[in-house]
Amino acid sequence: MTGLATAFGSGAMTNSIADLENAKAILVIGSNTTEQHPVIGTRIRRAARKGTKVILADPRAIDLANIAAIHLRHRAGTDLALLNGLAHVILKEGLEDKEFIANRTEGFETWRSTVEAYTPERVSDITGVPAQDIITAARLFATNSPATICYAMGITQHTVGHNNVLAVANLTMLTGNIGKPGGGVAPLRGQNNVQGACDVGGLPNFYTGYQRVADQGARAKFEKAWGASLSPQPGLTVGEMLNAAHDGRIKAMWIVGENIAMSDPDAAHVRAALEHLDFLVVQELFMTETAQLADVVLPAASFAEKDGTFTNTERRVQRVRKAVAPPGQARADWQIVCDVARHVVSSFKALELKGSDNLKPETWNYETPSQIMDEIASLTPSYAGISFERIETRGLQWPVPNSTHPGTPLLHTEKFSRGKGLFSPVEHQEPAELPDSTYPFTLTTGRILQHYHTGSMTRRVAGLEQLAPEERVEVNPDDAARLGLADGDWVRVSSRRGTIESRAWVTDRVGRGLVFMTFHYAEALSNVLTNTAVDPVAQSPELKVCAVSVEKATKS
Amino acid sequence: MPTLRSHILISGDPVSLARGAEAIKGAVESELAYYALTDEVAVALSGNLRLAPEQLPAAVIYPDDVTYGPITLNDVPLIVSEHLYKGRIVDALQITTKPLTGAIVRVPAREGALFAQQRVVLARAGIINPESIEDYVAHDGYAALGHALTRMTPAQVVQEITDAGLQGRGGAGFPVGKKLNLVAKAPGEEKFVLCNADESEPGTFKDRLIIEGDPHSVLEGMLLAGYAIGARVGYIYIRGEYHLARERLEQAIRQARAMGLLGEGIFATDFTFDIHVHSGAGAYICGEESALIESFEGKRGEPRIRPPFPTTVGVWGRPTAVNNVESLANLPPIVKNGASWYRSIGTAKCPGTKVYTMLGDVNVTGLIEVPMGTTLRTVIEVYGGGMKQGKPFKLAQTGGSAGAIIDASFLDVPMDFAELAARGGGLGSGALLIAGPDTCVVDLAHVLLRFFASESCGKCVPCRIGTTRAKEILARLADARATLDDIHQLERIANNMQAAAFCGLGQAAAVPILTGLRFFRNEFVAHAEQHCLAGVCPMRGEPPAAKRRFGRKELATAA
Amino acid sequence: MPINLTINGKPVQAREGQTVLEVCWENHISLPTLCHHPDLTPVGACRLCVVEVEKMRGLIASCTLPATEGMVVRTETPKVVEERKFILEMLLTDHPNDCMTCESNGDCELQNAVYQYQVPWPEHKGARHNYPAGADPNPFVFTDFNKCILCTRCVRACAEIQGRNVWGVAFRGFNDRIVAGADVTMLEAGCESCGACAAYCPTGALTDKPSRGQARSYQMKKVTTTCVYCGVGCQFDLNVRSGRVVKVTSNPKAPVNGMALCVKGRYGYEFIHHPDRLTKPLVKKDGAFVETTWEEALSLIGKKFAQVKKENGADAFATLASAKATNEENYLIQKFTRVVMGTNNVDHCARL
């Protein structure tokens, strides 16, 4: 997100999902779209049926490889080199959009000199992709216009995640694929409302609508609206919070609907950090691995039991509606936040906490989510025209600057959010942890179609559990032969941080030296193994590459 | 160069070879030498003469058009001395009875029949060696193509065919010139000629014999069509069971390529054309042109929605001229001799000849080619050698299984597309099933509906279920287990199938029922009252009075 | 250029490329269909939508008939009605008479058409198929090909909507049958269990397995909402009976996905009423959770949070908002953290 914001001025998907079918070429890199975003995956398949050229760049032979015009099977963690290599070929063959570059971008010449070094031969050495394939893919991408790039966590969950995204943006601008139907960049957001959670300020450095905490004007605006003085100091990210908890700098945490004990890298470290807290509140549907570490667990309502809105990956704000009552005494999260706020404010009064005089419990008496959305709209330019009334039948895509605006399916049509698009020179850099003699394999992680994240919901659906009952570590047949592994055998996978045991799936979906795992199964959790190294800018952890050893195990 | 006065062809098929055909050839040669006829009579081991196995080996003598068989070494001296030396036909050795063979019927000229066969399509079949392009060329072959490529524009070719009034010979009778014109005018760089050789109509085998007897005439027809519409490639979709026909076509294509008659720069012009053969996999529906295209493209053989028609959206979405074998074989003579010549044959509305396959209760079955407008009576009496055992004519079914069942009132109707259609019949593809009094119409309809039920592709409801339900009612009628209500339901099914089935198959499946009911309703009613007027149907399990005439097996062999 | 035609004596206008069926529907002239679905390529297989058109022979399926200038169409002539009754009767002759227990009763297009045209159950003595119901082991799709009318909507939905080609038609004529792959199980044929085939099936041949026997369509209230799984933002209808979500159905108006859903969206709702759901606040006492009241839990939280702020400063507190929670909830969480707790230590799993 930070990468696109740097290049374009906005971190969100530029075009709409339906627009994918207008693309003549789709480069999918770092996204197992048909499993992670299945309905977008079907759009890509439908486009391919109609003749769109799908260029797949993925270390694994995922489902999309079956329909791809070409599959670039690069080594995990070398996306940036590959993207620069594609740009190199396009420039060398004069296939770039010169007019677009001249009129709408800046920084091109500086960037160009960086890319010059990424010859197909050199990129082939780094990535393992045959030079000719790089040339073919580059031509396919540049000559089939408009072209879209879809990416997801396979690009961002690296120590060079931010730079990877810049490389995607560079390639898009190079071919002029911005601001037009069928073009654009589609960063596919992982969770149902990750876009919305970011939009409404669920980030340590932004208020709603990406208004900076560090910006004095923005802070003044929110201080006025909220009737409180606000800290000018940007807060901590998840990883930093956990480190701080570990070090005792953070004493209390409130976790709403996240299962970080499973979803975050180096699960042992996460667990230790949470156990070190003085007081932990977890608000959940189920007794998750994280909830088990809490001092207080609050029962929350599920999506079917409350009203509100989600914002999807194409910036569309859509209604969530209450269909049934929450079970037992469970309450909607928004109600619980109000309850907690009132109690905390009362306790401040009781403790006679300094500076809490202007906090009033009665300001936390929201009656409906609609009322909360109105407050968001009043403070957030991109949501200014959104109200429950307007999105009753059909959601709107932000920016929606006023109450009559029809929404914005296509961003950056006339100019970029930041004015001109910025080419940023980025260089290849190896992942933080590379295979060595002790840990000779590269582990990459992701999800499968049938389960979601830590499985707290999907593993409680009998049919899904029947389809995908257990973790299966994908191991290449050649590696399996060397390790004496048959399909379905138990393996022990270890990293510097831990060890797990699971069944193996011997398959050429993974190349030699690569193993793949999900993070759906608590009993064989890949995040016990993964590395906490993060991207210095985006703070995203390098979940896509760490070094592991694999050996045959006997399960009692 | 000595003048040859006779040709003697010895059958050279595997059966004949096993029975000593080569030795017979040797014996013929030595006998001819004995009579000093070597320079006057040519001897050749021919291909398959398409005779029944029990008639092999056989010998055909031209131009007398006499066939002897089965013959042995001992017969050779007699044949040579009597026929070739003295000019007398050896009646004892002549093939007298002609069971259903699929051979081309030739009425010997010396019988002096009034209505001689007028051959346009079959002019060379049985006379030339089908495996020799030289023979074809020697008999004016590829002359029409040369003429067209060097002296006519594509538009003139289309015009000539349009003026000739040629109607498609696959059954529907759509004007060929109009079709070629539609394809020629259709937008698109790439166009195709697609020859429909998926001849699956039971009782029809004309296309097979045209191909087997004169494959180059089909190729030349395709070349002319290709030139006319601006195509560079033609395809022949041939019925999977037609092995010999396919071999002949492939050999002919190889020969034509070698001679530069297929490929680039034909006749030193910039016309380029090539032909490829594709075998079907045994589905009746694939004779329907849009199902044929689907099948040709490798999909399930089911008819396409029309419009768009193949003339604009055909093979791989390109404009395509789909034409029957016989239609294509008509093109070279039309282009060579001109439209007015063609119009001098046949009737005003339907010029030209028609190739019929004749089968059933006539003395001679097989293939004939007569001018359009020839009556059924003439066909039966002259070419069919009359009804078997002198029994009276009861009915004919024209056009194969999907054809109309017509009664004796049609005997003197000049047969062509227009006249038969006007009287509630139909010419169809040209199969003529002739039946005498021993045929039960209900039984016949039952056999036909069994065929349709098994060949329905199943795409549309009226045909998928309708054919099966009609078949079931007919089975009950044939077995005297049905009522008058069943006859009403049968008629209802047929009417609704005809009105709304997706394609011609389902619509045509109703034809034998509806025409059978129109002309022989009393037989259906009699069955409901537990009588079979023909006396062939087993009434409630009672053994029939007479043998059933048409079983599924017999019809299948005919095809 | 609008195309002028006459339907049932009334002049109507069509746009280039429209079929007669589309023109009829747009002009509120009802025509029954079975194989037709606006999302799918028309095939003209069921022939139920036939009409009479002047100067055209026979009856023409309106779903595949392009509207042309001057066309005169009649949609309910005696001939047309007779044909429709015939088609429905033919379908019923090879269809089980078990609407009583059929999963699709009340939501069946065949049943609706039979009702509309008042087709009596045919007394029929002929062949009838008897396929084993529920033969496919897919956990989410129940197959009963005795109820299949071979409209091929499943085949087209799988190919055209899901891009998957699991279903095909095998055999011929009366024995035509829908098969997965080369007559293997759905999963073996590469099925992703998205349920599109069941969603598009007009009869009870393909139905959602988990909701079998749970409720009739008319007993369920539909609530349109947005999916809780990935970021695509599919919308669908939660089908509620007696306070329980018993089924998810596609909502054709969903802006992102239309009728398409994935296996989790369509079938992953069971967790909502799972017995593991937390129903009361819990506090940990001596290493074990004990149930408590909201008031006690909230008082404890209030005291503890206040205490931390007072003793350790605002930045000793942190909140994790949630990419699973609503915008409104996330907004309140960050507002609480910033306004009440006085720190910007709020984040969520944006990077996962």
Q: What is the DSSP letter of C303?
A: H
What is B177-188 written as a DSSP string? Answer: HHHHHHHHHSS-
Give the residue-averaged pLDDT of B332-352.
94
Kindly state whether residues A183 and A111 are assigned to the same domain. yes
Kindly state whether residues A257 and A112 are assigned to the same domain. no
Picking from B498, B530, B533, B528, the residue whose alpha carbon sits closest to that of residue B513 is: B498
In the prediction, which pLDDT does B555 show? 42
Please name the amino acid found at residue B452. Answer: F
How many domains does chain A fold into?
Answer: 3
A24, pLDDT greater than 50? yes
In chain B, list all ranges with CATH 3.40.30.10.
6-96
Domain B133-342 carries which CATH code? 3.40.50.11540
Q: Which of C42, C125, C150 sits opposite B464 (nearest CB)?
A: C150
Q: What percentage of chain B has pLDDT greater than the value 70?
A: 92
Domains in chain C, start-ordered, CATH in brackets? 3-76 (3.10.20.740), 124-273 (3.30.70.20), 282-351 (no CATH)
Contacts of C262 in chain A (CB under 8 A): 38-39, 449
Q: What is the DSSP letter of B146?
A: H
In the prediction, which pLDDT does B86 show? 83
Burial class (CB in 10 A: 0-12, 13-18, 19+), B199: buried
Which tokens go with A45? Answer: 């398949």
B117, pLDDT greater than 70? no
pLDDT band at B111 (very low <50, low <70, confident <90, very high): very low
Peptide bond into B308 cis (omega under 30): yes
Q: Is residue A432 domain-resident?
A: no
Residue with tokens 């320079």: B39
In chain B, list all ranges with CATH 3.40.50.11540.
133-342
Instruction: Give, in order, the Cα–Cα distances in Å from B355 to each of B141, B201, B216, B371, B410.
Output: 20, 14, 18, 9, 19
Task: Find out whether A255 and A456 touch, Cβ atoms under 8 Å.
Answer: no
Instruction: Give, in order, the Cα–Cα distances in Å from A197 to each of A330, A478, C235.
Output: 22, 44, 19
B321 CA: distance to closest CA in chain C (Å): 22
Residue of C nearest to B489 (CA): C86
Q: Is residue A435 domain-resident?
A: no
Sequence-distant (≥ 6) Cβ neighbours of residue B134 within 8 angstroms: none
Partner-chain contact A309 C327, CB within 8 Å: yes
Sign of CA dihedral A24, A25, A28, A29: negative
In chain B, list all ranges with CATH 1.20.1440.230.
441-558
Kindly state whether residues A333 and A462 are assigned to the same domain. no
Kindly state whether residues A104 and A52 are assigned to the same domain. yes
Q: Is C66 on the interface with B (CB under 8 A)?
A: yes
Sequence-distant (≥ 6) Cβ neighbours of residue B145 within 8 angstroms: B220, B223, B224, B227, B261, B266, B267, B332, B335
Round the average pLDDT of chain B to a whole number and report it: 88
Find out if CATH 3.30.750.24 is the number for domain B353-435.
Answer: no
Q: What is the DSSP letter of B360?
A: E
Q: Is residue A412 domain-resident?
A: no
Strands B192-197 and B320-324: parallel
Kindly state whether residues A142 and A246 are assigned to the same domain. no
Q: What is the DSSP letter of B388?
A: G
Instruction: Give, in order, the Cα–Cα distances in Å from B74 to each of B51, B59, B78, B82.
Output: 21, 14, 8, 14
A306-348 pLDDT, tens digit per residue, is 999 999 999 999 999 999 999 999 999 999 999 999 999 999 9
Select from C31, C74, C86 the residue whose CB has the most chain B CBs within 10 Å, as the one to mutate to test that interface: C86
Kindly state whether residues A261 and A288 are assigned to the same domain. yes
Q: Is residue A323 domain-resident?
A: yes
Round the average pLDDT of chain C to a whole number and report it: 96
More confident residue, A355 or A439: A439
* Strand partners of residue B167: B175
CATH topology of domain B441-558: de novo design (two linked rop proteins) (1.20.1440)
B433, pLDDT greater than 90? yes
Q: What is the DSSP letter of B285?
A: G
Sequence-distant (≥ 6) Cβ neighbours of residue B472 within 8 angstroms: C125, C126, C127
Residue range(s) defining the domain that contains residue A486: 441-552
More confident residue, B193 or B122: B193
Select from A26, A49, A52, A193 the residue whose CB has the most chain C CBs within 10 Å, as the one to mutate to test that interface: A193
Residue of B nearest to C49 (CA): B500
A403, pLDDT greater than 50? yes
**3-class SS of residue A419:** strand
Q: Is A386 on the interface with C (CB under 8 A)?
A: no
* Terminal-to-terminal C-alpha distance of chain A: 45
Q: What is the CATH number of the domain that holds A355?
A: 3.40.50.740
In the prediction, which pLDDT does B543 show? 59
B550, pLDDT greater than 60? no
Q: Is C181 on the interface with A (CB under 8 A)?
A: no
Contacts of C91 in chain B (CB under 8 A): 461, 465
Q: Is C285 on the interface with A (CB under 8 A)?
A: no
Select from A194, A233, A356, A445 the residue whose CB has the most chain C CBs within 10 Å, as the one to mutate to test that interface: A194
Q: Which of A229, A231, A373 sits opposite C343 (nearest CB)?
A: A231
How many CB atoms are located within 10 Å of the residue B395 CB?
24
Kindly state whether residues A260 and A369 are assigned to the same domain. yes
C-alpha span between B43 and B25 (Å, rounded): 7
In the prediction, which pLDDT does C39 show? 96
C157 CA: distance to closest CA in chain A (Å): 11
Please name the amino acid found at residue C105. Answer: N
B366, pLDDT greater than 90? no
Q: Is A361 on the interface with C (CB under 8 A)?
A: no
Residue of B nearest to C177 (CA): B458
Sequence-distant (≥ 6) Cβ neighbours of residue B554 within 8 angstroms: none
C-alpha span between B446 and A296 (Å, rounded): 81
pLDDT band at A467 (very low <50, low <70, confident <90, very high): very high
Question: For residue B478, how far is the Cα from the chain centroid?
Answer: 30
Which tokens go with C63? Answer: 């779903």
Instruction: Give, in order, the Cα–Cα distances in Å from A270 to each of A240, A388, B154, C151, C320.
Output: 11, 38, 81, 55, 14
Kindly state whether residues A232 and A149 are assigned to the same domain. no
Which tokens go with C38? Answer: 């606006």
Low-confidence ranges of chain C (pLDDT < 50): none
Contacts of B499 in chain C (CB under 8 A): 50, 58-59, 79, 83
Kindly state whether residues A456 and A344 are assigned to the same domain. no
Q: Is residue A417 domain-resident?
A: no
The 3 state secondary structure assigned to C184-245 is: ECCCCCCCCCCCHHHHHCCCCCEEECCCCCCCCHHHCEEEEEECCCECCCCEEEEEEECCEE
In the prediction, which pLDDT does A13 show? 92
C45 CA: distance to closest CA in chain A (Å): 23
Q: What is the CA radius of gyration of chain C?
A: 27
A504-554 pLDDT, tens digit per residue, is 999 999 999 999 999 999 999 999 999 999 999 888 899 999 999 999 998
Kindly state whether residues A371 and A268 are assigned to the same domain. yes
C-alpha span between A149 and A165 (Å, rounded): 11
pLDDT band at B107 (very low <50, low <70, confident <90, very high): very low
Q: What is the CA radius of gyration of chain B?
A: 24
Burial class (CB in 10 A: 0-12, 13-18, 19+), B136: buried
pLDDT band at B548 (very low <50, low <70, confident <90, very high): low
Select from A258, A317, A376 the residue whose CB has the most chain C CBs within 10 Å, as the one to mutate to test that interface: A258
Question: For residue A114, how far is the Cα from the chain centroid?
Answer: 28
**3-class SS of residue B210:** helix
Residue with tokens 């959010």: A417
Phi and psi at residue A281, in whole multiples of 5°?
Answer: -110, 130
Q: Is residue A164 domain-resident?
A: yes
Give the residue-averaged pLDDT of B107-119.
47
C33-74 pLDDT, tens digit per residue, is 999 999 999 999 999 999 999 999 899 999 999 999 999 999
In the prediction, which pLDDT does B551 show? 45
User: Which strand ranges, in their side-by-side order, compose the sheet holding C244-250?
Assistant: C221-226, C235-241, C244-250
Which tokens go with B347? Answer: 């009737």
Please name the amino acid found at residue B47. Answer: G
Find out if CATH 3.40.30.10 is the number for domain B6-96.
Answer: yes
Q: Is residue A34 domain-resident?
A: yes
Which tokens go with B301? Answer: 């053989």
In the prediction, which pLDDT does B552 show? 40
Element (DSSP H or E) covering residue A436 = none
Q: Is A343 on the interface with C (CB under 8 A)?
A: yes
In chain B, list all ranges with CATH 3.10.20.600.
353-435
Kindly state whether residues A178 and A204 are assigned to the same domain. no
Which tokens go with C251? Answer: 């909502």
**Number of residue pairs across A and C with CB atoms under 8 Å?**
494
Kindly state whether residues A204 and A276 are assigned to the same domain. yes
**3-class SS of residue A68:** coil
**3-class SS of residue A442:** strand
Task: Find out whether C228 and C324 touch, Cβ atoms under 8 Å.
Answer: yes
A458, pLDDT greater than 80? yes
**3-class SS of residue A374:** helix
Task: Find out whether A380 and A208 touch, Cβ atoms under 8 Å.
Answer: yes
Residues 292-331 of C with CB under 8 A from A: 294, 297-312, 314-331
pLDDT band at B2 (very low <50, low <70, confident <90, very high): low
What is B14-57 written as a DSSP string? Answer: HHHHHTTHHHHHHHHHHHHHHTT-TTTEEEEE-S-----GGG-S
In the prediction, which pLDDT does B544 show? 59
B378-422 pLDDT, tens digit per residue, is 889 888 888 988 899 999 998 888 889 999 999 999 999 898 888
Instruction: Give, in order, the Cα–Cα distances in Å from A554 to each of A501, A502, A504, A507, B248.
Output: 9, 10, 12, 20, 67
Give the residue-averaged pLDDT of A55-72.
96
Q: Is residue A299 domain-resident?
A: yes
Q: Which of C228, C321, C351 sits opposite A157 (nearest CB)?
A: C351
Sign of CA dihedral B240, B245, B247, B253: negative
C-alpha span between B63 and B127 (Å, rounded): 9
Which tokens go with A129? Answer: 């992709």
Contacts of B467 in chain C (CB under 8 A): 173-174
